């Protein structure tokens, strides 16, 4: 089941358990994972895309190994908030993935996540070659961390803090 709203997404999850963040590109899928308390997103790896069946198999293997209970996927909206071909491709990927797993999926606005990841890697004085190797899963980390921060805010509101 997929969600646009973080509150609806979190209502389907147990209180603890790791989430996966995905940055879906045409050539790669960046993967990040959270801790079970959902406080910190850690960039994990990049999957080289081949065809959907192989991509999904590799992704689901990672999710099973890390016991992920949900997925946050970056939705590449245009700067005006509209959705173009890349967003439609992301939605199609999720529709196909939902046929293979019961994990809930949250669409998360990923505008500027790759820019933020690139900036962080430049500030860390990462070489051009290394940046190209890690940019996708670092961007997935930014996507997931944004969602984790929102989920933490919702939890604090629900707990009356």
Nearest to 16 by CA among 155, 142, 145: 155
- CB–CB of 105/98 below 8 Å? yes
What pLDDT is attached to residue 161?
59
118-154 pLDDT, tens digit each = 666 556 666 666 555 556 676 788 889 889 988 888 8
Distance CA 62, CA 157 (A): 32
58-74 mean pLDDT: 94
More confident residue, 115 or 149: 149
84: confidence class by pLDDT, cuts 50, 70, 90:
confident
What's the Rg (C-alpha) of the chain?
Answer: 15
- Please give the pLDDT value at position 79: 67
Most distant pair of Cα atoms in the chain: their distance? 47
Q: How many CA atoms lie within 13 A of 29 on its CB side?
A: 24
In this prediction, residue 21 carries a pLDDT of 93
Q: What is the mean pLDDT of the chain?
A: 84
The predicted structure's pLDDT at residue 133 = 54
pLDDT number for residue 43: 86
Tell me the mean pLDDT in the region 100-114: 84
State the number of CA atoms in the 13 A half-sphere of 104 facing the CB: 18
34-50 residue pLDDT tens: 999 988 898 888 899 99
């Amino acid at each position: 089941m997929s969600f646009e709203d973080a509150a609806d997404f979190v209502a389907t999850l147990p209180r603890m358990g790791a989430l996966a963040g995905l940055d879906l590109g045409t050539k790669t899928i960046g993967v990040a994972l959270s801790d079970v308390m959902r406080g910190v997103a850690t960039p994990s790896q990049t999957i080289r895309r081949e065809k959907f069946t192989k991509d999904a198999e590799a992704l689901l293997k990672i999710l099973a190994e890390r016991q992920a209970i949900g997925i946050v996927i970056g939705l590449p909206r245009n700067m005006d908030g509209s959705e173009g071909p890349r967003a439609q491709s992301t939605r199609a990927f999720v529709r196909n993935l939902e046929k293979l797993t019961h994990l809930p999926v949250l669409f998360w606005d990923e505008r500027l996540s790759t820019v933020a990841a690139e900036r962080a890697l430049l500030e860390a004085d990462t070489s051009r070659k290394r940046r190209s190797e890690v940019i996708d899963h670092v961007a997935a980390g930014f996507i997931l961390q944004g969602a984790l921060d929102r989920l933490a805010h919702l939890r604090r509101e629900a707990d009356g803090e």
